[in-house]
Amino acid sequence: MTAQRGTTPQGTATEEQAARYVRGMFGQVAGQYDLLNHLLSFQVDRYWRNTTVRRVEHILRRPGMKVMDLCCGTGDLLLALEQKASEQTLVLGSDFCHPMLVAAAAKSGQRNAFTPLFEGDGLQLPLADKSLDLVTVAFGFRNFANYRRGLKELRRVLKPGGMLAILEFSTPPNPLIRGVYGFYSRRILPTIGGLVSGSKEAYTYLPESVRKFPGAESLAAEMEGAGYTRVKFERMTFGVVALHTGLSG
């Protein structure tokens, strides 16, 4: 399905259609996802995730904390979180794409504590209000069918003072870097991604979804609008990605 003009960031008429489209697309590329991630980012993706873990490490180390990596995909951030978490910290992984969770299950669970994985949509999580101390979302939030609803849902499941950390592609502020990155992501990335994964559409969707995603300042404003406090962001790699953090209130 090619995204048409519509009401969701994916261009579909309804949020259900957007979710089905995104889930199907990630399901197609789950097998080659890690290889392509590391290849297309020249391995810099590891640095982005490790930086994210460093920013939330104080929460991971505190015994009794409950942490969820939402949109965990094949589990790279989940694994990095697990490695820094105390054994008394509950780390959960969630995604709405089953083949991605299967890949994550093969990787996580390497510490002496159980890491439950569950299928869940970030817009409608099967979790009680105020149940988590930290939610991380790496490269998943951009795919939500409704950003405002997603922010509200994540605030719902966070305890008062709990932290949301969103690692996501962004728009480099420097026009020269933006031009070079734009050329790479629109021309080179879909070709390599298409050849390796067999789904050119998925790797054409990627730069398109980044282009449509709000810039770092706008996302910070959205977070504040949804009730998060102490919202801040840090750009990495010339602003190709940004890490936003905020407290649930």
Binding residues for S-adenosyl-L-methionine: 74, 95, 121-122
The amino acid occupying position 66 is K
CB of 143 to ligand SAM, least distance (A): 4
Q: State how far the Cα of 181 lies from the Cα of 211, in Å rounded to an integer.
A: 11
Q: State how far the Cα of 1 lies from the Cα of 33, in Å rounded to an integer.
A: 20
Could you tell me if 181 and 207 are in contact, meaning their C-beta atoms sit under 8 angstroms apart? no
Beta carbon nearer to ligand SAM, 27 or 215? 27
Between residue 56 and residue 85, which ones bind ligand SAM under the rule CB under 6 A?
71-73, 76-77
- Residue of 184, 28, 156 whose CA lies nearest to 98: 28
Question: How many residues form the binding site for ligand SAM (CB under 6 A)?
Answer: 22
CB of 63 to ligand SAM, least distance (A): 25
Mask: binding to ligand SAM, 9-28, rule CB under 6 A, as x and -? ----------x--xx--x--
Which residues, in sequence order, are CB contacts of 128 under 8 Å at separation 6+? 157
The amino acid occupying position 105 is A
Q: State how far the Cα of 189 lies from the Cα of 61, in Å rounded to an integer.
A: 37
Beta carbon nearer to ligand SAM, 25 or 65? 25
Interface with ligand SAM by CB under 6 A: which residues? 19, 22-23, 26, 37, 71-73, 76-77, 95-97, 100, 121-123, 138-140, 143-144
